[in-house]
Amino acid sequence: MFAKLAQPFPLGATLCDQGCNFSIHCPDNQDIKLILFDNNNKKKIVELDNQHMGIRYTFVPDMRAGQCYGYQITDKNEKRLVLDPYAQALSKTPFYIPPFRAEQSWDFAKSVVTEHTFDWEDTVSPQIPYEETVLFETHVKGFTKLHPHMDEEYKGTYLGLCQPEVIKSLKQQGVTTLQLLPVASCMSEPHLLDMDKVNFWGYNSLCFMAPEPRYAIADAVTEMKTMVRELHKNDIEVILDIVFNHTAEGGDGGPQFHFKSLDKNYYLQTTDKKLLNYTGCGNTLDLTYQPSLNIVLDTLRHWVTHYHVDGFRFDLAATLGRDRHYFNTRSAFFMAVAQDPILKKVKLIAEPWDVGPNGYQLGHFPRGWNECNDKFRDTVKSYWLCNKNDVKEFATRLMGSRDLFSAGGWPDKLPVNFISYHDGFTLEDLVSYNHKHNHANGENNRDGHGDNRSYNHGVEGETNNLTILYRRERQKRNLMATLLFSFGIPHILAVDSLSHTQGGNNNAYCQDNEISWANWEMSHGDELFHTWMGQMIAARKEIMAPFIRAFSGHERGHHRIQWRHSSGQNMTAEDWQNLEAFGLYMGLYKGGNELMYIINHSDIPTRFRLPEGNKWSVICDTSERYLSNRQIQTTYMQAAKSLTILFRE
């Protein structure tokens, strides 16, 4: 009877009323056995007595959720325990002391049989339209670890992220979508373990389907589902940052956790059998190989089906479309996702590059994918912070980077615009440091990007100089107002709303401490910026979202756009060279709502003549710390190095 219950698919450990089916793809290791562990860590060996296309499988009766297991292989005459690549939970936070020898594998984290019954309390996905989406990127632990108004047990956990105090703050800021740094189980790299550090960000995947145990109080599976459910109750989407470009097993000579011991073909290889490194992490997952493609697609469906997540942001996503040195928008992965009835319904965001040849693919991902727009980041930072007055480039980014993303594909093909990300300077550090200060990472400040396009305004780091502080705050408002009122999906680093500083560290991937943990103790100036930003996000939803809808698709050519001198005259072709003060006027159809951007890049105030008609409402003037509801009609004096946005119904 039980022999008939044994099946090669699905892979992994699958429970039913009679027991559990175990199935593992292991073509390079046929001498493999299933090991079951009791509560005292005593092991029971189970033969995998069935085979199919490189898969070994068996059925074990009377199995229950919570059973710890692994697979025994023979490695250089030693018995090694490997994880199930399809493991849906881990028994504990993975850790070892390098090097990872076969003997240590038996004390390492183990795979856990998981059952997914959960009370979702009839919650549904918020399904936020693209043009209304405001992404907040954050870290599950880092965002709440120092929260001052939360029970200690919840700080830094999945449940911490859905506590009433946090949800209230997210709602006040206008967050529609949380984009979480990786929550799949990960393993710190050997060099970090040698330095007694951890991979805090989590971009070193161990088991793609297992939630990271270090963010759980007791049960990562249930607690993560609870987090998603409570956020959904408050109309906040959850997007997972996910890493399929490489695994935690590193390059040649790296540790063996599963794939390396089971199937060498999971990794792209050169002709001399050396692992290709398109990721900078030692190995590259090969999605032209069917079993690799299968686990990626199975993983995505797993998170959507069992955890109800609303989408994914794919790290180094150019790798997903690679066939060795070439990127193909019609690769098997893209085609498979596009036809999948589950995956084609969720948001898909690509980091459209990797470090290999032909790795920069911004604007080249297929329909149905949004892309992180680093050209927006670089242009806007250069314009406001580096005194690079490239008016044409700035205008292109403001209007949605239509040189790369045709408005005919909007709103679903809107670019994801950003100023700061988890890697690089925070917003506060962008206006406070000229140079990176990564000494705490233990690499003599060699790590991290050198092209920060930042400006400290006269003093490196902290200062009490009120003039410098005013200029820094004004530039923060310039950067954020530009982001929120550009055409695109705004991506905001969550700690930027708190004016969090990392002390100039632009690569805090290994800093599981106050450098990375959000500082909720805000100064009076920080509080003002926090309030200003929440009000600006609300204004964006009310005013900017209808303009994005109107400028999308077939209706995009039916509206009024004028680029204007401060004198009120329309700009000519010659004016696009280093003009320091200019305006952008937009009107919907022939007599609809109107927006006016007044941009002064110069060091002196400039008076602008406004389009004739009824009075304009001032949405924001970045030279001011508060938003006002005042109205103006004919002219406006724009302060130096600032931006004003006007609206007229």
Question: Cα(first)–Cα(last) distance of the chain, in Å?
Answer: 73
State yes or no: is 315 an active-site residue.
Answer: yes
Please pick, among 249, 310, 351, 496, the residue that the annotation labels catalytic.
351
- Cβ atoms 518, 530 nearer than 8 A: no
Contact (Cβ atoms closer than 8 angstroms) between residue 449 and residue 423: yes
* E strand segments, 101-173: 111-112, 135-138
- Written as one letter, the residue type at 444 is N
Q: How is 30-52 classified by DSSP, letter by letter? A: -S-EEEEE-TT--EEEEE--EEE
Domains of the chain, first to last = 2-112 (2.60.40.10), 558-648 (2.60.40.1180)
pLDDT of the residue at 336: 98
Distance of CA 306 to the CA centre of its chain: 20
pLDDT digits (tens, 9 = 90+) for 26-40: 999 989 999 999 999
Residue 369: C-alpha distances to residues 181, 312, 334, 348, 363 (Å): 19, 10, 9, 5, 10
Average pLDDT over residues 189-203: 97
Lowest mean pLDDT among 18-22, 74-78, 212-216, 365-369: 74-78
Nearest to 37 by CA among 7, 60, 16, 12: 60
Please report, as a single letter, which amino acid is at residue 178. Answer: L
Give percent of the chain above pLDDT 70.
Answer: 100
CA–CA dist 271, 168 (Å, integer): 56
pLDDT in tens, 134-151: 999 999 999 999 999 999
pTM score of the predicted model: 0.97
What is the spatial distance between Cα 540 and Cα 490, in angstroms, rounded to a whole number?
10
In Å, how far are 115, 201, 220, 226, 469 from 121, measured between CA atoms?
Answer: 18, 31, 19, 10, 48
DSSP state of 326: E
Asked whether residue 579 carries a pLDDT value surpassing 80, the answer given is yes
- For the segment 634-643, the average pLDDT, to the nearest whole number, is 97
Residue spans of beta strands (DSSP E) within 156-235: 177-180
Average pLDDT over residues 253-268: 95
The answer to whether 548 and 524 are in contact (CB under 8 A) is: no
What average pLDDT does the structure give for the chain? 96
Asked if 177 contacts 128 with a C-beta cutoff of 8 angstroms, the reply is yes
CA 427 to centroid of chain Cα atoms: 16
Catalytic residue among 131, 241, 249, 315: 315
* Predicted confidence band of residue 18 (pLDDT cuts 50, 70, 90): very high
- The model's pLDDT over 370-384, given as tens digits with 9 standing for 90+, comes to 999 999 999 999 999
| CA–CA dist 517, 156 (Å, integer) | 9
Q: Mention every residue, 6+ apart, whose C-beta is less than 8 A from residue 136.
A: 170, 173, 175, 177, 178, 179, 492, 493, 494, 497
pLDDT band for position 341 (cuts 50, 70, 90): very high
Which of the 8 DSSP states describes residue 606? E
Give the tens place of pLDDT for each residue, 436-458.
Answer: 999 999 999 999 999 999 999 99
Helix (H) or strand (E) holding 648: strand 642-648
Rounded to whole angstroms, how far apart are CA atoms 416 and 418?
7
CA distance 438 to 81: 37
Q: Left if phi > 0, otherwise alpha if psi is -120 to 50, otherwise beta: which for 308?
A: left
pLDDT at 1 over 80: no
Query: What is the rounded distance in angstroms from the CA atom of residue 447 to the CA atom of residue 474?
Result: 30
Phi (first) and psi of residue 565, to 5 degrees = -70, 160
> Cα(595)–Cα(540) distance, rounded to whole angstroms?
12
Instruction: With H, G, I as helix, E, B as strand and everything else as coil, classify residue 349.
Output: strand
Q: Say whether 351 is catalytic.
A: yes
pLDDT score of 609: 97
CB atoms under 10 Å from CB of 102, counted, come to 17
**CB 362, CB 429: distance < 8 Å:** no
| Residue 101 scores a pLDDT above 80 | yes
Distance CA 631, CA 616 (A): 5
Quickly state the pLDDT bin for 555 (edges 50, 70, 90): confident
Query: In angstroms, rounded to a whole number, what is the distance separating the alpha carbons of residues 338 and 332?
Result: 10
